[in-house]
Amino acid sequence: MKSFFQALYRLSCNFILMLSMIFTGLLFVAGFLFTCYADNMTTQQVLTRADNPLFHLLGVLIAGSAILLCCRLACKRPALGKRILLCITMIGVLLLGALLILFGRTAPAADAWSVYSAAQSLAGGDTSVIHPTDSYLSYYPQQVGLMAFFELIIRIWNFLPIGLEAYHFIKCLYVVLTCIIVFFQYKTVHLLWENDRADCIYLILAGTCLPMIMYSSFVYGEIPSFAALSVGLYYLLKLLKNMPEDKTMACDTPAKRYILPAFISLLGLTLAVMLRKNSLICIIAVVLVVLLEACFSGRKSLLIYCTLCITLSLTVLPITQKCYEFRAGNTLRTGVPAMSYFAMGMQESSRANGWYNGFNFNTYQESGMDTDKTVAISKAAITERQDYFKANPGYAASFYFNKFLSQWTDGTYASRQATLATLGPRHPAAEEFYTGKYANVYIEFCNLYQTIVYLGCFAGILITLLRRRPDRLYMWTGMISVFGGFLFHMIWEANSRYIFLYGLLLIPYAARGLADISNTSVLGKFRKNNTDRTEDASQKQPIAG
């Protein structure tokens, strides 16, 4: 049985590597040849442009060379170089985040404002926002976790003698959380590969990830949930790496080595789901990886971890909702059913294929907030679109191709659209990035950055396969999460904002791949390995005669 599980584990590793190579290769080709962007901040229509391959190649070569040059300089004295790069990156994130708060003047709007205002009401003692019909939360009850987080922050803010809105404080907190993301992803890169070049390249990529800076002013669930996810994944990977591959428990302080990382990991992953329900995609990846690691090592303790992870992730939002309902003495509806999101993901929109067009909200509202009626209408809409796709296969292929491009080749990840709303006029210099002369500069920079990330990911996986030394499966937890997100948002409601967090998950893999590219001895190792294999084979051949 043990040999069967080990064979299954190795097969899973090779399958994930091959699938990841195909997937990242597709991302690189798409990102290299196409760019999706929005140049009109009123309509926010997503436009698709075919890039000039020669100019794009030149940009990739120049930017890639600059990254590798900085890496080479930092790695002359790795310990000191990494500390300097870490300080520069952290200071840069803090400084740019502060400038964006001061001059960008972004305010919560749409869903973000609905959640924030509900939290504000609850912090002031008004529980009327918990209502079965007259409440935003009865449409989207999955937001109760983020609302609870906002309420806690608002209550803390209200203790201070400052007349500003609490969302300014939230944006300041998000800048700090962005630094936490960078720090724990940096530690994750070092934990996984113990490669100074990969560490340095990650810090360079993180410090130049402008959409991440922009999203630090977006008062919603992306930044806090990914900060929690980064912490949770780091401690999970630390737990799995420190565990021996057999059942023999290490005798030195097992509680410190295993229990504490497991606890922090579970806490981080649970908070990630509480703050953003779509984090369940990452939880699924975590559970699959840990189950296979448990089968490989024979450790039943990992099965306990899986059970706790599933239980906490699936109950954190319902428990939070029940607490609010008990506090208000009222109830919330089950919300807009998932089926309507699947239906909307098959429809056209004024912005792009499969993007939000109001179908889910309108259908639920017009049905009198009746879940069964909404599901029936959504199923009928899905059937109608399926029939149309079958009758027009060319249109269907074009529809999903453009849906894919609109999400995965927008290097800005809709960061300008997400942070567009302001309270009062934005500073003219900041406005230039939205509607002025710097808008195209921002789009082109982000497009080039995204292409380099895709290239690094693809190169790293390809080199791993060429070395014929597959890594442990847990090292690919982030990549499995990204592929899961790709599948999910191809059938769910689309938006490049939803892909932003998967883009962040790719950066560590890009750093590893670019580090492999920068290693001038890689090709030499391949030649040496191939030479050794040839010599071994020739020695084993029988001598004629």
Q: How many domains does the chain have?
A: 1
What is the DSSP annotation of 73-127?
Answer: HHTTSHHHHHHHHHHHHHHHHHHHHHHIIIII-B---HHHHHHHHHHHHHHTT--
Is 383 inside a domain boundary? yes
Is 526 inside a domain boundary? no
- pLDDT tens sequence across 101-124: 999 999 999 999 999 999 999 999
Q: Pairing mode, if any, of strands 47-50 and 34-37?
A: antiparallel
The residue segments making up the domain with residue 98 are: 2-519
Q: What pLDDT shows up at residue 247? A: 57
Q: What pLDDT shows up at residue 531? A: 45
Is 143 inside a domain boundary? yes
- Report which of 487, 527, 443, 481 is spatially closest to residue 273, judged by C-alpha positions: 481
Mean pLDDT, range 466-482, rounded to an integer = 88
Buried b / exposed e along 212-248 (16+ C-beta atoms within 10 A) = bbbbbbbbbbbbbbbbbbbbbbbbbbbbbeebeeeee
412 contacts 211 by C-beta, under 8 angstroms: yes
Is 530 inside a domain boundary? no
Is 24 inside a domain boundary? yes
193 contacts 184 by C-beta, under 8 angstroms: no
Q: What pLDDT shows up at residue 523? A: 45
Q: Can you tell me the distance from the alpha carbon of 118 to that of 215, in angstroms, rounded to the nearest whole number? A: 21
Q: What pLDDT shows up at residue 443? A: 97
Tokens 């939205």 found at: 434
Q: What pLDDT shows up at residue 254? A: 55
Is 204 inside a domain boundary? yes
Mean pLDDT, range 390-398, rounded to an integer = 97
Q: What pLDDT shows up at residue 470? A: 62
Task: Give the three-state DSSP class for 132.
Answer: coil
Q: What pLDDT shows up at residue 95? A: 98
430 contacts 484 by C-beta, under 8 angstroms: no
- pLDDT tens sequence across 172-205: 999 999 999 999 999 999 999 999 999 999 999 9
| Helix H or strand E segment including 36 | strand 34-37
Q: Can you tell me the distance from the alpha carbon of 183 to that of 234, in angstroms, rounded to the nearest whole number? A: 10
Q: Determine how many CB atoms are found less than 10 A away from the CB of residue 367.
A: 17
Is the per-residue pLDDT at 62 higher than 80? yes
- Cα angle, residue 307 at apex, residues 304 and 308 outer, rounded to 5°: 90
Q: Copy the structure tokens of residue 9.
A: 């584990």
Mean pLDDT, range 360-371, rounded to an integer = 95
Mean pLDDT, range 487-514, rounded to an integer = 97
Is the per-residue pLDDT at 545 higher than 50? no
- pLDDT tens sequence across 401-440: 999 999 999 999 999 999 999 988 899 999 999 999 999 9
Return the bridge partners of 49, or none.
Answer: 35
> pLDDT-derived band of residue 256, with 50, 70 and 90 as boundaries?
low
Mean pLDDT, range 337-361, rounded to an integer = 96
477 contacts 454 by C-beta, under 8 angstroms: no
Mean pLDDT, range 336-359, rounded to an integer = 96
**Mean pLDDT (the chain, rounded):** 91
Is the per-residue pLDDT at 533 higher than 50? no
71 phi, psi to nearest 5 deg: -65, -45
Is 540 inside a domain boundary? no
Cβ partners under 8 Å of residue 256, min gap 6: none
Half-sphere exposure at residue 508, Cβ-oriented, CA atoms within 13 angstroms: 27
Is the per-residue pLDDT at 214 higher than 60? yes
Question: pTM of the predicted model, to two decimals?
Answer: 0.92
